[in-house]
Structure 1
Amino acid sequence: MMLVEVTAPAVEALPVAGLREHLRLGTGFEMAGDAAETAALAGFLRAAIAAIEARTGKVLLARQFRLRLEEWRDPLGQPLPLAPVEAVEQVEIADAAGVGTPVDPASYRLVPDVQRPMLKPVGTFLPSVPAGGFVAITFRAGFGTDWARVPADLAQAVLLLAARYHEDRSFEGTQGAMPFGVSALIERWRSVRVLGGRGTSRGRT
């Protein structure tokens, strides 16, 4: 299984002003609004968003992803590894030579769920994947394109973690350790990942 982020959030969607205000109130730093500082704050926010998304399986700002599977986990319905999913934009079946054919959108449907969205067949089964081939699912996931659409507890967790990264000025030795306050905020959003591979769980690559 391979999951690729096709698009990234625009810098305009990141809560840079909110982080600047949080740092001023919480630590006393005075942040000038020049381009270098804005870029630095955006970097801390992207790192924090990535960490929160990795821990929860929830996509905060909407963007496009592509999931490649060598086989369906279950031909009656394929769980998608991220949530919430806005839309399945394309399903493509490729043969052993890598030549892909789009699947008729009328033959499948998205079953939205905040924890475990599913791609399900309209008929009995999802289309078969040829030996040596693969299926590629392009989908759009996220709470919205605007930061205001992100749930308040997840948004606050991002600000706290980004502020921690800013204060440490280095990710070395800090990325693996999630501060307790951040962990408490994201706990209810955490879920067991259900990924590709029939009857197995595989790591995200």
Structure 2
Amino acid sequence: MKGRPTRELPPKDLPALPVELIQEVKDFLRLDHGEDDAAIARFASSAAHLCENFTGQMLIVRSLCDRIPARADWQKLKRRPVQAITSVEAIAPDGNARALPANDYAIDIDGDGVGWVKLRAASNFQRIAVTYNAGLAVDWMTVPTTLRQGVVRLAGYLYSHRDGLDAAPPPSAVTALWRPHRRMRLA
């Protein structure tokens, strides 16, 4: 039985920004028109991606797939916080994947939201594909307040300095708001 082709998926883009978040940025900027809503949405999306990179955590839960070596020792998944590990597949040399029986591997999610996977025995394939869900909140409105406020402030800064004429550094309040959520990654 032939499996399906698989590939490593990059993190999916953030879900569309809700009108309420765009309105928060407009309120922060004291804007009362809708002419720049599309630009504000792009700046807010950029600010959210910067927040994810700074904190080392995904803001909104979304599905991911990591391709990792097929080994019998514990391996860490790339993104966090992991909410659920949904499947583990063996990847054949031709790129086709087949689901592994649950007794062929072990999975764990530790207290810091790091996902782990290992094979229970040696295998005859080189790589596995692990599909999982990772993120802090189910939607924008449930993202922790300090992270959202940092996104709003940074989006406001990006909007205000979009021409680059008076480019001052981003406000330090942004990192102050995000720092308590930062998870460092050691190589």
Q: Specify whether residues 23 and 42 from structure 1 end up closer, same or farther in structure 2 by C-alpha distance, changes over 3 A only.
A: same
SS at match of 1:33: coil
> Shift in Å at residue 58 of structure 1?
0.8
Unaligned runs of 5+ in 1: 25-29, 195-200
Confirm or deny: 8 A CA contact 2:157 2:170 kept in the other structure: no
Q: Does 1:32 align with 2:33?
A: yes
Which residue number in structure 1 is paired with residue 52 of structure 2? 53
**Which amino acid counterpart does residue 67 of structure 2 have in structure 1?**
R
Percent identity of paired positions between Structure 1 and Structure 2: 26
- 1:62 is matched by which residue type in structure 2? V
Give the greater-gyration-radius structure (CA).
Answer: 2
* Separation in 2, partners of 1:7, 1:128: 35
Kindly indicate whether residue 187 of structure 2 is the aligned counterpart of residue 163 of structure 1: no
Q: Does 1:109 align with 2:141?
A: no
In the superposition, relative to structure 1, how do residues 127 and 137 fare at CA in structure 2: closer, same or farther (>3 Å)? farther
Q: Quote the residue 2:175 is aligned against.
A: 183
Q: Which amino acid aligns with 2:150?
A: A
Q: Does structure 1 conserve the Cα–Cα contact (< 8 Å) formed by 2:85 and 2:115?
A: no
Counterpart residue type for residue 83 of structure 2: E
Shift of 1:126: 4.4
User: 1:110·1:118 contact (CA, 8 Å) conserved in 2?
Assistant: yes
Give the TM-score of the pair, scaled to structure 2.
0.78
In the alignment, structure 2 segments of 5+ residues that lack a partner are: 1-7
Helix, strand or coil: the match of 2:18?
Answer: helix
1:7 Cα deviation from its structure 2 partner? 5.2
Mapping 1:38-117, distance limit 5 Å: 38-72=37-71, 75-105=72-102, 107-114=105-112, 116-117=113-114
Match of 1:146 among 139, 145, 168: 139
Q: Kindly indicate whether the alpha-carbon contact (under 8 Å) linking 1:6 and 1:66 is maintained by their aligned counterparts in 2.
A: no
Alignment RMSD, CA only? 2.8
- TM superposition shift of 1:8: 3.4
Alignment correspondent of 1:23: 29
Per the alignment, in what secondary structure is the counterpart of residue 14 of structure 2? coil
Match of 1:6 among 7, 12, 23: 12
1:36-86 deviation digits (Å, cap 9, x = unpaired): x322111111100111101111111121222122355xx342222222212
Q: Shift of the alpha carbon at 1:145?
A: 2.5
Aligned length: 176
Tell me which amino acid in the other structure corresponds to 2:11.
E
Partner Cα distance (2:139, 2:83) in 1: 14
